[in-house]
Amino acid sequence: MSNKKLGIILLFIAIAIPAVGFAESSASSSLSASADSSASSGFPKTEVRKNTKEEIKNVKVQTRSSAKDIRTQTRENIKQERKEFRGEVKNIRATSTLSADEKKSKIEEEKKEKQDDLQKIKEERNKKIKEIRTDAKKTILEKRETLKIDLKKIKDQKKVQVVENTDKKLEKINDDRTDHLLDVIGNLENSLAKINARISAAEVKGVDASSAKKAALDATQAIVAARTAVEAQAAKVYKMTITDENKLKADVGNTIKKLQDDLKQVRVIVQSAHDAVRKSAVAIANALGLKDAQSSSSSFVSSPVSSVSSSDSSSSAVSSVSSAESSSQSSQ
């Protein structure tokens, strides 16, 4: 009995399951049809939202892809620009180096030309000073003849001899002192040439050396003035005017004092030139940023003009005249 019931139940289940599946299929079809009809009727539902999300997702993907492409292209552009910039910098550096070499070569050429010109100027000046001395010698010979005539007024031959020797000493003193001052001026010119070379080199490096350039120009003018003064002094001839035997000491003393005063004035002018050169040396040292500008300037400029000791030599000449007078008086 129970077996029959079990068979009936199984049969019922076998028939019921396909029917349920068919019912679900029909329901699903009806729901799809209903959704399609709803969508076609213009009412936004789940499917519309789904489609919108898909579109948004696609837009985001496309945007990300575009942004990635833009970043990639930007990186490539930056790399290319950097490469071009580095090439330009390299070319600029090469050009700058070449310009510096050319400027350096030009400076060397100008320096050599200046040295050659300076040598020619020195030779011309030496020739000029020789001519001055030659003319002075002629005047001196004429002066000595005049002095001999004037010394005939003096009876004491010892005094005559002293005066003649003093006259020769004055000539030597003037020659020695002017030679010394000309040497000093030559050293100043050499120092100034070195300073000008430093100024040119500083300007090539872009250093503002305008103040040093102005000081060097002032020094050049001071040197020209000093040389002119010394050459004029070298051409001077000091004549002794003998009036009377009793005034012999005063006559000789006046001539000696004239020489001393003239040499002192010339020495002051040369010292001014020396100071001007030192000032230009300090100026270029300051422009180059050297710590101790004063000591740096000493490498360019020689020691100051030494004092002219003509006073000692000329004073001894006066003393000789005095001694001659004393001897003459004692012998009498």
Could you tell me the pLDDT band of residue 2, with boundaries at 50, 70 and 90? low
281-303 as b/e: b if 16+ CB within 10 A: bbbbbebbeeeebeebbeebbee
From CA 272, how far away is CA 222, in angstroms rounded? 7
Angstrom distances, CA of residue 133 to CA of 74, 86, 129, 176, 202: 86, 69, 6, 12, 42
Contact criterion met (CB below 8 Å) for 268 and 308? no
Each residue of 9-28: pLDDT tens digit? Answer: 665 565 555 544 444 454 44
Q: Tell me, what's the pLDDT at 300?
A: 58
Q: Tell me, what's the pLDDT at 302?
A: 57
Could you tell me the pLDDT band of residue 173, with boundaries at 50, 70 and 90? very high
* CA 266 to mean position of chain CA atoms: 33
User: Over 70: is that where the pLDDT of 321 sits?
Assistant: no
Each residue of 75-117: pLDDT tens digit? Answer: 777 777 677 667 666 665 555 555 666 767 776 777 777 777 7
Provide the whole-model pTM: 0.58
Q: What is the mean pLDDT of residues 168-176?
A: 91
- In percent, the amount of the chain with pLDDT more than 90 equals 26
Q: Is 244 left (phi over 0), alpha (psi -120 to 50) or beta?
A: beta
Each residue of 30-81: pLDDT tens digit? Answer: 444 444 444 444 445 566 666 776 777 776 666 666 666 767 777 777 777 6
Q: Tell me, what's the pLDDT at 143?
A: 79
To the nearest 10 degrees (0 to 180), the angle between helices 248-287 and 210-234 is 160
Q: Tell me, what's the pLDDT at 131?
A: 81
Q: Where are the domains of the chain?
A: 51-104, 134-331
Q: Is 238 left (phi over 0), alpha (psi -120 to 50) or beta?
A: beta
Q: Tell me, what's the pLDDT at 103?
A: 66
Q: Tell me, what's the pLDDT at 247?
A: 82
Could you tell me the pLDDT band of residue 7, with boundaries at 50, 70 and 90? low
Handedness of CA 271, 302, 217, 209 (dihedral sign): negative
From CA 275, how far away is CA 290, in angstroms rounded? 20
Q: Tell me, what's the pLDDT at 199?
A: 92
Q: Tell me, what's the pLDDT at 269?
A: 97
Q: Tell me, what's the pLDDT at 8?
A: 62
Q: Tell me, what's the pLDDT at 331?
A: 45
Residue 134 has which token pair? 């030659």
Q: Residue type at 287?
A: A
User: Over 70: is that where the pLDDT of 179 sits?
Assistant: yes
- Comparing 289 with 33, the larger pLDDT belongs to 289
